[in-house]
């Protein structure tokens, strides 16, 4: 990725997060954290990586994904009004499990440390 696409990705992440928090009324997307936005060099699409720590089970993840997918058109239109881009990328959302994996890894390491101390 170039510096330009990195900068655009960060702007998109900040604006999408703000719009999800303040403007999207779908309760399925309330507790979503956007971790990263990867923008194609030609600005045709942007892959928005998200995570939600309070979601339990695969069915809840699917509901959050459905909520994000249904709000993609609205978010794209809102971003087109706010950001000075000639071409607004199409938004695709994908779950990022790295935060959950990191949390589980830390819990395992803490458990190992606690066992060795006793």
At residue 118 the predicted structure's pLDDT band, cuts being 50, 70 and 90, is low
Is it the case that residue 2 has pLDDT exceeding 80? Answer: yes
Average pLDDT, the chain: 88
Q: Look up residue 86 and give its DSSP letter.
A: S
- 89: closest CA among 10, 7, 12? 12
Which pLDDT does position 111 carry in this prediction? 82
Per-residue pLDDT of 59-101, as tens digits, reads 688 999 999 999 999 999 999 999 998 899 999 999 988 777 7
Instruction: Name beta bridge partners: 34.
Output: 50
In this prediction, residues 12-41 reach a mean pLDDT of 92
Which pLDDT does position 65 carry in this prediction? 93
Q: Look up residue 28 and give its DSSP letter.
A: G
- How many folded domains does the chain comprise? 1
pTM recorded for the entire structure? 0.79
Is it the case that residue 55 has pLDDT exceeding 70? Answer: no
Q: Write out the residue range of the structural domain in which residue 101 sits.
A: 3-117
CATH number of the CATH domain containing 111: 3.30.300.20
Which pLDDT does position 1 carry in this prediction? 60
Which pLDDT does position 57 carry in this prediction? 64
β-pairing, 90-95 vs 33-39, is unpaired
- 75: closest CA among 88, 85, 86, 62? 88
Which pLDDT does position 104 carry in this prediction? 78
């Amino acid at each position: 990725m170039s510096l330009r696409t990195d900068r655009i990705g960060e702007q998109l992440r900040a604006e999408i997060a703000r719009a999800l928090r303040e403007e999207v009324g779908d309760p399925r997307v309330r507790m979503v954290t956007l971790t990263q936005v990867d923008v194609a060099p030609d600005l045709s699409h942007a892959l928005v990586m998200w995570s939600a720590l309070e979601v339990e089970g695969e069915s809840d993840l699917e509901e959050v994904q459905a909520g994000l997918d249904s709000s993609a058109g609205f978010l794209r239109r809102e971003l087109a009004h706010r950001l000075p881009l000639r071409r607004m990328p199409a938004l695709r959302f994908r779950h990022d499990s790295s935060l959950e994996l990191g949390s589980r890894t830390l819990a395992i390491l803490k458990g190992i440390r606690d066992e060795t101390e006793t």
